Amino acid sequence: MSKAIAAVLSWLVLAICPLPVWAEPTISAGSATVGVGDTFTIQVSISGAEGLSTWQFDLAFDPMILKANSVSEGDLPLLSAGAINNDSGLINVISGSFMDADLNKLFEGVLAVIEFKALAAGTSPLELLDVQLGFDQTTADLEDGSVTVNAQIPEPGTLALVVLATGGLALRRRQSGAGRWANHAPSAGRGKEATRRPIG
């Protein structure tokens, strides 16, 4: 009888004070639109993480379009900035920890900041791979990012200067060519003298 009463009381406690249920955390890579030759940063962030203590992920990109320069910490300390391979387009094992994590608190913030240089026009995906989180929630929703690189277009003022300079150079070449032909062309007087030769 006492066991039945204890079970009922336990059920009532859980019904009145239910344990918190958290949704899966979301890890997302940022996106950007840049120009060829630009250097820029992308943030990898997490939201809805309960008691975040450690994390790890890889990031893949298109090495024909982007070059990874460095990885730096965001809101939490990094354990490893990862190994950058610009030949394959992969940053391996970016990881970090937060030893003072509050297990009853949801965490939102930046895990890492990655610096890239845009090499060529096109769109490169930023794909999150091998994500590992150091708490009871072992799965997460992943949101990949992308970078669109546009070909550099001269500003209107610069373009106008280029057009004027090109036009001026062409005009100078035409004038210079006309001058050379004028200097080498025979004069009318010389032509007449050349036809007046003495007879006998």
Residues 132 and 189 in one domain: no
In a domain, 10, yes or no: no
pLDDT digits (tens, 9 = 90+) for 173-193: 666 555 554 555 554 444 444
Residues 133 and 82 in one domain: yes
Query: 183 lies in which domain range?
Result: 156-193
In a domain, 29, yes or no: yes
Q: For residues 21 and 193, give the distance between their C-alpha atoms in angstroms, rounded to a whole number.
A: 112
Coil, strand or helix at 73: strand
Residues 127 and 177 in one domain: no
Q: How many domains does the chain have?
A: 2
Q: Which residue has the tokens 């939490």?
A: 76
What is the secondary structure of 110-132 as a DSSP string? EEEEEEEEE-SSEEEEEEEEEEE
> Could you count the other beta carbons within 10 Å of the beta carbon of residue 107?
19
Residues 35 and 131 in one domain: yes
User: What φ, ψ does residue 54 adopt, rounded to 5°?
Assistant: -140, 160
Share of the chain above pLDDT 70, in %: 57
Q: Which residue has the tokens 């379009």?
A: 65
What local confidence, expressed as pLDDT, does residue 8 receive? 42
Residues 146 and 163 in one domain: no
Residue 66 contacts residue 116 (beta carbons within 8 Å)? yes
Nearest to 31 by CA among 124, 120, 167: 124
In a domain, 1, yes or no: no
What local confidence, expressed as pLDDT, does residue 133 receive? 84
AA identity, residue 22? W
In a domain, 84, yes or no: yes
Q: For residues 125 and 175, give the distance between their C-alpha atoms in angstroms, rounded to a whole number.
A: 53
In a domain, 6, yes or no: no
pLDDT tier, 152 (very low <50, low <70, confident <90, very high otherwise): confident
Residues 180 and 141 in one domain: no
Token pair recorded at residue 130 = 């091998």
* CATH classification of the domain holding 114: 2.60.40.680
pLDDT digits (tens, 9 = 90+) for 36-74: 999 999 999 998 877 777 889 999 999 999 999 999 999
Q: Which residues of 117-144 are buried (b: 16+ CB within 10 A; e: fewer)?
A: bbbeebebbbbbeebebbbebeebeebe
Residues 106 and 182 in one domain: no
What local confidence, expressed as pLDDT, does residue 195 receive? 41
What local confidence, expressed as pLDDT, does residue 10 receive? 44
> Could you count the other beta carbons within 10 Å of the beta carbon of residue 111?
24
